[in-house]
Amino acid sequence: MSDPSIIASFRGVEFRTTDTGLGVGRRNVLNEYPLRDTPYVDDLGRRARKYNVKGYVLGDDYLQQRQDLQAAFEEGGPGELVHPRYGVVWVSLLGEAQFDESHREGRMSRFTATFVEDADNTQPTGQTDTAADLERAADGSDDAAGVAYADALSLSGPQILTDLVADATVLDINTLTSAADLYVDSSSLGDILDMAGSAIGQVATLLLKPLTMVAALRGLYVEFAASIRVGSASGGALNAMRDVNKGALANLAALTAARQAAAASPLAPATTSRTLLNEAARAELTRRLAISTQARILAVAISDDTVATAQQATAMRDQVVDQIDVELEQADPDAGTARALSTLRAAIVRDVATRAELLKQRSTYTPLAVLPSLVLAHRIYQDASRADELVQRNGVRHPAFVPAQPLEILL
């Protein structure tokens, strides 16, 4: 460890050394009890090493050297001590450093300092569960959407009002079950179909209490998001919900124009205006449930490693966030719904930003010749077991002959 050629320094400020001392030991606690002749010792671990350093600065500019060393001693936090006897150690100054000068030793300032070894504080740190925050934000968005739906829906009057809403709601449920048939794990598909069948069978009754109808629909959408098959199904399910949202948004302008025309015309039947308002309320609920469902699908996909790269997570995030922006700008939601959607948007962005850092980054690699996938996997990843991943990701026809062309890899 000792190397006389090393120039001593602290925080990069050089000095010369004379005497040194090193304090070592154990953190032992002596236990002595009354009427017991034999004590025992609790060993609590190694004691922090203390480095007693005596040194000096010398030369015509010794005053500047002393000031630099003084500033290094007074700076907060640990620093690097370089010493000919101890090498390079990370330390903090213990107590004070003492400078001494005398007339007999001109152009020279001596000092004495005691350093104690220091290390990073590796205690656990608090971390926000952004996925749970996203789930709460999605629930809040669903709550606000449900309240807005219940406030806007009015079925008092001719039976045709209820029948029209019921028929449209059944179509929405059937659309969801069709998507479930494509993307939901087979072990959960039966539960979703049972829930859907129960809701369809009671739709007219459930509509008498709109919030109860909303609860049944929410249950279906939440179960759908939680039951997506692990793998590429997440992307398909996300797109299916995007299409649901777009379908409900497509006739927004037409519905708005029809409602305004009905309200302005004294000859328009009251049921016509009411029907249009109910249809608008149902479409709004469908769009907003589709949005919150996509947020849940994204959170689950990142958690179960379905999303392999940060780029993929960002693209999925943008898809959902764009729909929220459209909903806020074009649908003109009430204040409560707008706040809930904005909160959900922020939660999605925060969750992806936090967890995407843990995902792999997509890159490209071009081999110089046709090589087996095992060789390439070892060369790229230093792990031949990832050869199958390389083949599948790039659609290689034969693993023994990977073509000499750009390959997509995950780092």
Domain map (residue ranges) of the chain: 9-117, 130-358, 362-410
List pLDDT tens digits, range 294-312: 999 999 888 877 777 788 8
Mean pLDDT, range 151-156, rounded to an integer: 90
Helix (H) or strand (E) segment spanning residue 368: none
Provide, rounded to the nearest whole percent, the portion of the chain with pLDDT above 90.
Answer: 56
The whole-number pLDDT of residue 271 equals: 74
List pLDDT tens digits, range 16-74: 998 889 999 999 999 998 988 899 899 999 999 999 999 999 999 999 999 999 999 99
Helix (H) or strand (E) segment spanning residue 382: none
The whole-number pLDDT of residue 217 equals: 96
Long-range contacts of 300-307, Cβ-Cβ distance < 8 Å, separation of 24 or more: 300/225, 300/226, 300/228, 300/234, 301/228, 301/234, 301/238, 302/131, 302/351, 302/352, 302/355, 302/356, 302/359, 303/131, 304/230, 306/228, 306/230, 306/231, 306/232, 306/233, 306/234, 307/234, 307/359
Mean pLDDT, range 118-143, rounded to an integer: 85
The β-bridge relationship of strands 79-83 and 50-58 is unpaired
Alpha carbon distances (Å) from 403 to 39, 375, 388, 393: 75, 13, 15, 14
Evaluate if residue 233 carries a pLDDT over 60: yes
* Mean pLDDT value across the chain: 87
Using pLDDT thresholds of 50, 70 and 90, give the confidence band for residue 268. very low
112: β partners? 54, 98
Topology of domain 362-410, CATH:
Membrane-bound Lytic Murein Transglycosylase D; Chain A (3.10.350)
The hierarchical CATH code for the domain 9-117 is 2.40.30.200
Mean pLDDT, range 318-337, rounded to an integer: 93
Using pLDDT thresholds of 50, 70 and 90, give the confidence band for residue 383. confident
The whole-number pLDDT of residue 210 equals: 94
Mean pLDDT, range 115-137, rounded to an integer: 83
The whole-number pLDDT of residue 267 equals: 42
Tell me, yes or no, if the two domains 9-117 and 362-410 fold the same way.
no
The whole-number pLDDT of residue 255 equals: 58
The whole-number pLDDT of residue 148 equals: 95
The whole-number pLDDT of residue 141 equals: 96
Evaluate if residue 377 carries a pLDDT over 70: yes
